[in-house]
Amino acid sequence: MTLTDPRSDPRTGEHVIERVVFSEADLANRIGEIGREIAAAAPADEEILLIGMLKGSFLFLADLARAIPRPVKLDFMVAASYHAGTVSSGEVTLKYRPDTSLEGRFVVIVEDIIDSGTTLKRLLPVFEAQKPAHLEVCALLHKRLVALDPPARWVGFDAPPGFLVGYGLDFAEQFRNLPYVGVLQSDAG
Ligand code: IMP
Ligand code: MG
């Protein structure tokens, strides 16, 4: 263990990832499947527009975009609902909304994880108002604590209880660069 190991807590240098939940290979296989499904689901005359919810979806979005064997356009949405801890504040702050038109497009909102569902419940009506031909949600992980209406059309994996980090997911901005999804030790932070 060294201080440069991305699994370590930068304050103490201690390894704080309890276990790997989804490995790099698990992620790559599942994202390949989802990419092919999205390509097949979008009507041929509709452009696919992926909207990544930053920051957590940045790696998922990058891999998913490359797994879709069709042209895609990309934009981003920046919303914050977690501030520093592991519990949602319940508020959703919009910091950037896409300036690409959604109208007539096959729009896929790309989320890292659905936890309380607050972020999507707040944002889906904002997207719907822009009259996409289709509006779908693709989440890498779903904690299955809430049922969204409509449900997320694509979910990579059901998430186990606990606070997950890695592959875009952070704890206080740390661990986003882990290549896998792991569970944080419950006494960390
Ligand atoms: P919501 O509670 O469904 O609104 O989740 C909003 C955001 O909280 C997600 O997009 C993540 O960025 C973050 N989040 C929720 N659960 C976790 C977790 O277990 N680890 C890291 N981030 C999380
Ligand atoms: Mg986050």
Contact in structure between 19 and 183 (CB atoms under 8 Å): yes
Give CA–CA dist 10/30, Å, rounded.
31
Residue 104's pLDDT is 98
- Do the beta carbons of residue 167 and residue 182 sit within 8 Å? no
List the strands of the sheet with 93-96, edge to edge: 93-96, 72-80, 48-54, 106-114, 134-142, 154-158
Q: Is the pLDDT of residue 87 over 80?
A: no
**What pLDDT sits at residue 4?**
59
3-58 pLDDT, tens digit per residue, is 557 777 766 677 789 999 999 999 999 999 999 999 999 999 999 999 999 999 99
Q: How far is the CA of 82 from the centre of ligand 2 (A)?
A: 6
149 is an active site residue: no
- Residues whose beta carbon lies within 6 Å of some atom of ligand 1: 56, 81-82, 88, 111-119, 163-165, 169
Q: Average pLDDT, stretch 75-85?
A: 76
**Does 88 have pLDDT greater than 80?**
no
Q: Is residue 89 predicted with pLDDT exceeding 70?
A: no
Give per-residue burial for 38-55: e unless 16+ CB within 10 Å, then b: beeebeeeebbbbbbbbb
pLDDT, position 79: 86
**Residues 115-168: pLDDT tens digits?**
989 889 989 999 999 999 999 999 999 999 988 888 999 999 999 988 999 999
Assess whether pLDDT exceeds 60 at residue 84. Answer: no
Q: Where are the domains of the chain?
A: 24-160
What pLDDT sits at residue 16?
85
Q: What is the DSSP code string of the chain?
A: --TT-TTB-TTT--B-EEEEEE-HHHHHHHHHHHHHHHHHHS-TTS-EEEEEEETTTHHHHHHHHHH-SS-EEEEEEEEE---SSSS--S--EEEE---S--TTSEEEEEEEEESSSHHHHHHHHHHHTT--SEEEEEEEEE--SS--SSPPSEEEEEPPSS-EEBTTB-BTTBSTT-SSEEEE-TT--
pLDDT of residue 95: 87
CA atoms within 13 A on the CB side of 131: 2
**Which of the following is catalytic: 112, 115, 158, 187?**
115
How many angstroms is it from 146 CA to the middle of ligand 1? 13
Residue type, 166: G
- The pLDDT of residue 174: 92
- Distance from the alpha carbon of residue 171 to the mean position of ligand 2, in angstroms: 7
> Does pLDDT of 176 surpass 80?
yes
Is 3.40.50.2020 the CATH number for 24-160? yes
Of ligand 1's atoms, which has the minimum distance to the CA of residue 111? 10
* pLDDT at 80 (0 to 100): 74
Amino acid at 128: E
